[in-house]
Structure 1
Amino acid sequence: MEKEILPNYFQDIKITGFRIANPNATVIVHEVIIRIPFSNGAVTDQYAKIYKEVETKLKETEKCIDGHFTPFCVDGKAVITTLNPPPTEKELCVRNINVLFVNYFEPVVETEGLSCVSECDFSSPKYVDCNTGTCQIKQDGAQCFCPNTHKYLYTYSRCRGAVLIAGMYGGAGAAIAVLVIVAVILGVFFYRKKKY
Structure 2
Amino acid sequence: MITSISKGTTGATTSPTTLTTSINTNGSTILSSSPTISTPLSRPTSTSSPSTTTITITSPGQNSSSTKPTSSSLPTTTMSTIITTSTLHSTTTTPGFCANGGIWVDGHCECPLGFTGDTCEDISNTIETKAETNGTVQVVLRVTNRDFTEDLQNHSSSAYLEFVKNFTEQMNLVYRNVDGYQGIQVQNVTPGSVVVDHVVIFSLIMTAQAQEKLNNITKDLMAEIRVVTMENCTDDEMCFNSSDITVRDNSLNFNQEGYCRENVPKGLEDYFFPNLTSYGFFCISNCTPDTASTINCNNGRCQLTRSGPQCFCPEPHMYWYQGNRCESRVSKLAVGLGSAVAILAVMVAILAVLLFRARSTQLSYR
Tell me which interval the TM-score lies in, with the shorter structure as reference length: 0.5 to 0.7
Question: Superposed, which structure 2 residues align to 1:66-105 within 5 Å?
Answer: 71-73=239-241, 76=244, 78-82=246-250, 84-85=251-252, 87=254, 96-97=263-264, 100-103=270-273
Distance 1:80 1:88 in 2: 22
Does the C-alpha gap of structure 1 residues 142 and 132 become closer, same or farther in structure 2, counting only changes over 3 Å?
same
Higher percent of residues as strand:
2
Structure 2 residue 187 is the aligned partner of structure 1 residue 17: yes
2:196 to 20, 24, 27: 27
The SS at the match of 2:196 is strand
* Residue among 212, 215, 220 paired with 1:45: 212
AA aligned opposite 1:14: I
Q: What is the DSSP-based 3-state SS (H/G/I as helix, E as strand, rest coil) of the residue aligned with 2:212?
A: helix
Once the 2 structures are TM-superposed, how far is the Cα of residue 12 of structure 1 from its aligned partner? 0.9
Deviation digits for residues 36-75 of structure 1, max 9, x if unmatched?
Answer: 474xx62233333433x15753885638xxxxx9623356
Structure 2 letter corresponding to 1:25: V
The one-letter amino acid of 2:200's match is E
Which residue identity lines up with residue 263 of structure 2 in the other structure?
N
Amino acid corresponding to residue 182 of structure 1 in structure 2:
A
Higher CA-based Rg: 2
Deviation track 1:65-107 (CA, whole Å, cap 9, x = no partner) reads: xxxx96233563635223x42548787656635553245x644
Counterpart contact for 1:11–1:33, Cα < 8 Å? yes
With the length of structure 1 as denominator, give the TM-score of the two structures.
0.56
1:137 is matched by which residue type in structure 2?
L
Deviation for aligned residue 1:184: 4.6
CA distance in 1, matches of 2:295, 2:358: 60
* Counterpart in the other structure of 1:66: none
* Aligned with 1:137 (options 289, 304, 312): 304
Q: Tell me, what secondary structure is at the counterpart of 2:263? A: coil
Contact 1:90 1:106 in 2 (8 A): no
* C-alpha separation in 2, matches of 1:148 and 1:59: 67
Q: 1:55-66 alignment to 2 at 5 Å?
A: 56-57=222-223, 60=226, 62=229
Greater length-normalized contact order (CA 8 Å, ≥ 6 residues apart):
2
Contact 2:271-2:285 within 8 A present in 1 as well:
no
Gaps of 5+ in 2: 1-173, 231-236
Question: Tell me, which stretches of 5 or more residues in structure 1 are unaligned?
Answer: 64-68
Which amino acid in the other structure matches residue 248 of structure 2?
Answer: I
User: What's the offset of the Cα at 1:28?
Assistant: 3.9
Distance 1:107 1:149 in 2: 37
Q: Equivalent pairs: percent with the same residue?
A: 17
| Residue of structure 2 equivalent to 1:2 | 175
The CA distance in 2 between the partners of 1:78 and 1:108, in whole Å, is 32
For residues 56 and 19 of structure 1, the distance between their equivalents in structure 2, rounded to whole angstroms, comes to 20
CA pair 47-185 structure 1, distance change in 2 beyond 3 A: farther
